[in-house]
A = this chain, B = another copy of it.
Amino acid sequence: MLAAGAAEAQVTGPITLERFGSFHVGGRLVELSGRPVREYLPTVGGAPLRIDPNGTHVVGQMYARFMVPATQRGTAPMMLWHGAYLTGVTYENTPDGREGWEHFFLRRGWTTYVTDAVERGRSGAAMVPEIYPPPLHLPTANPWERFRIGDGAGSHARGTVLPGNQFPTDAASYMNFMRQVVARYLETDEDVIAAYIALLERTGPSVVIAHSQGGAFAWQVAQRRPDLFRALVLVEPAGTGVMAEAAKLRAIPQLLVYGDYVDADPRWSVIRTNARRFSAAVREAGGTVEDVDLPSRGIRGNSHMVMMDRNGDEVAGLIQDWLAAQGLHR
């Protein structure tokens, strides 16, 4: 009774960490030459600074931050991988100021790793356009209309949302969400995949929760290094692994989760159909992919940003239960 009480208290109260910290992994060296030197005065009261960009640059590295709870109940480290145009902040908070999934899983005894995928956030980027091409940047209307928050094209200007939408769409919350959207460089997939492999080689075999573009990466990373995955939770993956290599995933328990209004969306319906085809190929090869359609379980109104939705913890609970059922939580 006492132990159970202590575990419950941890779900909302103070939390004791054995340790926490951060590090970078991976990356490669790129040599630049023949570029012009820049000289500028960096600050008031400073001294002129001469930056010669020629020489060796570190590119493609990745940032990871970890928290190890004093009472560990997960049997493997848990990775939280974000989607495109975003960073690990995806899991740290919600736009309306609630705790994120990082808290949810840490409070349940998981050692959590929150990463920024290569070229985003604290992972740093590179010389533009010498090494990476100029990045894309999203205007405020884009996620509203593309992430199944609003009801289609023009809904941001109208300020309208899908019926029962669970994303916090008051003006302050949506602005908070847009503040965490970052620029996205293209043509960096190989760097991203290499860095995720470097991360898992450092942490050892892990439970990976991956969102959107991160889900597509996770499937591809798992196909290259299935030995580094204890389980794979794909939250609205925006793509798949390589179909011809589906068999490489047969030993990894997988959970596929999509939110509401997927079939009615011209783009997400295609993406889920692709993910289901890919899952079927994994199953055909002897693997296990459990396919959860949240509305069919009575969990309604979820946008693409499931972990930020007002009912996000309900979905986290579903994932937690599934991980426990795989014997990964003690």
A positions within 8 Å CB-CB of B: 14-25, 27, 29, 32, 38, 40, 42-47, 49, 51-58, 61, 63, 65, 70, 84, 87-89, 92-93, 97, 99-100, 103, 116, 121-122, 124-129, 131, 134-142, 175-176, 178-183, 186, 189, 213, 216-217, 220, 238-243, 267-268, 270-271, 274-275, 278
Contact = CB atoms under 8 A, between A and B. Distances in A.
Integer count of this chain's copies in the complex: 2
A306 B239 CA distance: 44
Contacts of A100: 21
A278 to B, nearest CB: 6
A141 B53 CA distance: 10
A27 B179 contact: yes
Given A45-B275, A124-B180, A54 B139 contact: yes
Contacts of A88: 122
Nearest to A129: B134
B44 A239 contact: yes
> Interface residues of A: mostly helix, strand, loop or mixed?
mixed
26 contacts: A14-B70, A16-B16, A16-B17, A17-B17, A20-B103, A21-B92, A21-B100, A22-B89, A29-B140, A32-B139, A42-B213, A43-B238, A44-B220, A45-B241, A49-B267, A51-B142, A53-B139, A55-B140, A55-B142, A56-B139, A57-B140, A121-B121, A121-B122, A124-B182, A125-B137, A126-B183
A164 to B, nearest CB: 24
Given A44-B239, A122-B116, A178 B136 contact: no
A30 B61 CA distance: 30
A300 B25 CA distance: 31
Contacts of A25: 179
A183 B128 contact: yes
Nearest to A186: B40
A298 to B, nearest CB: 28
B42 A84 contact: yes
